A and B are shown apart, each in its own frame.
Chain A
Amino acid sequence: MISTYKLSKTYKENTVLNIDALEIPKGQSFGLVGNNGAGKTTYFSLLLDLIQPSTGSIKSNNIQVNESEDWKPFTAAFIDETFLIGYLTPEEYFYFIGELRGQNKSDVDALLAQFSDFFHGEILNQKKYLRDLSKGNQKKVGIVAALIGNPEVIILDEPFANLDPTTQIRLKQIIKDLAQKQGVTVLVSSHDLTHVTEVCERIVVLEKGQIVKDLETNPETLKELEAHFANATVLTEV
């Protein structure tokens, strides 16, 4: 579904991402972990054609993302608050995204109805604009908006950060369902090793822009990752 080939991104002389090859098959739940500055968000931004690669390319469904825009109809993402329109109410925002993705109001309403427990009564009908919601609630809106219109690829940057425990557990279930039952390719990045190992079938560890581990998740993965990052901190301290 998503193939990355000799991709690199360099700012002046500082290479922030360098991936020789990475293949993500359709329907995989894919986790990207790494410390700050490892290149997770850079990779997602390249995948969404928000920045230009210095070399190489990414193909999504055989469409090279920086050449054609045909990947947009089947791709959805929530990276940060720049994906939200602050002066809209959550409902207006959902309908707007729905219209862009060819969904009418009742389609969107039907989807939102499934997430009433996820919203915990704090999103809909609150008479508040998105800019006045708390960070956690903004994130909920962004994540659910990314699910509108049955996308085939969903990209979520740090989806667990800022969320309360109940919502984190519910979100994990949603992501698992998307990949396993609906065949959606889900890309998630996180600092939280427990969450990603629970959710993702495959985990890639980035370090200073390079892939240093590519693991299929099994019961031992969490320990392996913890050991890796524990050593990494020791190494940098020495």
Chain B
Amino acid sequence: MIKHFISLEWKAFTRSASFKVNLILKILMAFGALAILLYMLLIGVGAYYIIDEYLKKEPLVFVNQILIFYFLADLSLRYFLQKMPILNIKSFLYLPLKKDKIVGFGINKTIISFFNIVHAFFFIPFSIVMLLNGHDALNVSGWVVAMLALVYCNNFINIFVNNKDVVFYALVAVIVGFAALTYYNIFDITAFTGPIFQAFYDRPYLAILAVGLMVLLYKMAFNYFRKNFYLDAGLAQKVAVGETDNMAYLDRFGSVSTFLKNDIKLIKRNKRSKTTVLMSVLFIFYGLLFFSGAVKAYDGPFWRVFAGIFVSGGFLFSFGQFVPSWDSAYYPLMMSQNIRYKQYLESKWYLMVIATIITTIIASFYLYLGWQAYAAVVVGAIYNIGVNSHIVLWGGAYIKTPIDLSSNKKAFGDKKAFNVKTLLLTIPKIILPVAIYAIGHFASGEVLGFILVAVSGLIGLLFKNKVFGIVERIYKAEKYKTLAAYQQKN
């Protein structure tokens, strides 16, 4: 029976429509995973000596102290990234299989997940180093068994927590709260939890408790799913409450408002687009690497403009590059309706401009890092609005990847998004403003550099209609290809 499940899993993996297309991406991911394992291994080996050497602390005691944060962080990472295998199991429900077997297979599959194995790459080498440094073998093995059992506890806890946002946010709040309290010396949670982890070393037989907890959580996860193994319970799709929203306040945008309303609903109501917004928020902080001097390689003055472009343009780049793919699910509708491309494009353009302005206002905290930092963000925003918004829409017209709004798959990269045409378009997007700034910087100073970038952004605005005309022609010329490409679901 297990043999059947495994062969089905393998077929699902190799026969998915995206398999060949994404093979390169998969290989890259495999390399990434290997790199992470390697890092963990290095940390596992090196941590003992580093703590001993530089922090002058007893390594095991120190590790035990921070382990609480380690496990909590692991839990929240799992929530974000670890996929629950149980969800695609619907088609087995009516087949003559024991439900216990299906549920068991689903949960057992999580055991060999990368998210569990990666921890072994830290704990096991760390334990070996401890042995080499004269720690008692029995104590060390008690500790390492307990730690690995706790890793699996997290694995099974995640099965319950999965898809319960409340629990997740509570968890994050707890982590941040404890970290802050510890940092400001108000209340040190590690003083309580450290000894607990230490106990597994001091009394190795206590590892039984951790293993027992793991088994208990496994049983609970199993029962939880066994009990909810019905289409209208655990396997049900979450149905969001739909609110009709006429967004009358957007009517002031005139004829564009029709599409603008839809675009805002698109962003608000779909998982994939929400991730895009989240990513653009992260971009706001990207500039800290440059302006705080944290990374030495980024210290040159030209990097400022580079950073400014990204800080203000996170949304513009991550959303704009997939216009019109955002509308791929209902592209046949759009193509048979009476749509004026210019309005359609203009609505996306307004959206990017509004987002850029909001981002720039939020980014005003860069003023703390000197006026140059914020000036770079502001001129970056002007350049983004004037020039990059057009280029991004232009480049998007060549990308024909259907977007599945309901899933986060591929949100972090897609092979098709990097073709030669879009690659060439990064030159005017990023390199050109840096070059323009350099000219001004060398001719007179940073003020002239900033002014030149801002002026070129303003000039770019003049070409808006021209570019929209070009994009419209591309849309028309590529219409059938685009329609056919969007039909191919992954």
Contact = CB atoms under 8 A, between A and B. Distances in A.
B337 A87 contact: no
Interface in A71-114: 72-73, 75, 77, 79-80, 82-89, 91-92, 95-97, 99-101, 105
Contacts of A48: 332, 335-336
B246 A87 contact: no
Contacts of B120: none
Contact of A83 (B242, B330, B406): B330
A126 B406 CA distance: 21
Contact of A89 (B244, B270, B330): B244
Contacts of A91: 244
B266 A51 contact: no
Interface stretch (A127-135, A163-171, A180-188, A211-219): A127-135
Nearest to A75: B336
A221 interface: no
Contacts of A131: 406
A37 to B, nearest CB: 17
A97 B337 contact: yes
Contacts of B329: 82, 85-86
Contacts of A100: 258, 337-339
Central interface residue in B258, B332, B483, by most chain A CB within 10 Å: B332
Contact of B240 (A72, A85, A132): A132
Contact of B242 (A85, A97, A127): A127
Nearest to B267: A87
Central interface residue in B265, B331, B406, B484, by most chain A CB within 10 Å: B265
B333 interface: yes
Contacts of B237: 132
Contacts of A73: 338
A89 B337 contact: no
A85 B262 contact: yes
Interface string A39-61: 00000000011111000000000
A92 B244 CA distance: 6
Interface size of A as a range? 35 or more
Interface in B391-406: 405-406
Contacts of A95: 246
A151 B200 CA distance: 76
Contacts of B243: 89, 127
Interface string B256-296: 00100110011001100000000000000000000000000
B480 A52 contact: yes
B338 A129 contact: no
Contacts of B332: 48, 50, 79-80, 82-83
B336 A129 contact: no
Given A52-B480, A82-B333, A83-B332, A129 B242 contact: yes
A92 B336 contact: no
Given A49-B335, A50-B336, A132-B239, A96 B330 contact: no
Interface in B12-32: none
Contact of A84 (B258, B333, B484): B333
Contacts of B266: 87
Contact of A87 (B241, B333, B405): B405
B245 interface: yes
A88 B331 CA distance: 15
A209 to B, nearest CB: 19
B331 A82 contact: yes
A89 B333 CA distance: 16
A96 B240 contact: no
B242 A72 contact: no
Interface string B319-341: 00000000001111101111100
Contacts of A72: 336-339
B122 to A, nearest CB: 42
B231 to A, nearest CB: 14
B242 A89 contact: yes
Given A49-B335, A50-B336, A85 B245 contact: no
A49 B338 CA distance: 13
A88 B262 contact: yes
Contacts of A52: 480
Nearest to A69: B338
A85 B244 CA distance: 14
Contact of B269 (A50, A80, A129): A129
B58 to A, nearest CB: 55
Contacts of B240: 129, 132
B72 to A, nearest CB: 34
Interface in B207-246: 237, 239-246
A117 to B, nearest CB: 21
A131 B335 CA distance: 20
Given A51-B483, A82-B329, A87-B405, A77 B336 contact: yes
A131 B405 CA distance: 11
Nearest to B240: A129
Contacts of B339: 72, 100
Contacts of A97: 337
Nearest to A124: B244
Contacts of A82: 329-333, 487
Central interface residue in B261, B337, B487, by most chain A CB within 10 Å: B337
A86 B265 contact: no
Contact of A88 (B239, B265, B335, B484): B265
A50 B483 contact: yes
Contacts of A85: 262, 329-330, 333
A82 B484 CA distance: 12
Contacts of B244: 89, 91-92, 125
Nearest to B237: A132
Interface of B: 237, 239-246, 258, 261-262, 265-266, 269-270, 329-333, 335-339, 405-406, 480, 483-484, 487
**Which 10 A-B pairs rank lowest in CB-CB distance, beginning with the nearest?**
A87-B269, A83-B333, A129-B242, A72-B338, A99-B258, A89-B242, A48-B336, A82-B332, A91-B244, A89-B244
21 contacts: A49-B335, A50-B336, A51-B483, A52-B480, A72-B336, A72-B337, A82-B330, A82-B331, A85-B262, A86-B406, A91-B244, A92-B245, A92-B246, A92-B265, A95-B246, A96-B262, A97-B337, A101-B338, A127-B242, A131-B406, A132-B242
Given A72-B339, A85-B333, A96-B258, 7 more contacts: A75-B336, A82-B329, A87-B266, A87-B269, A88-B265, A89-B242, A101-B338
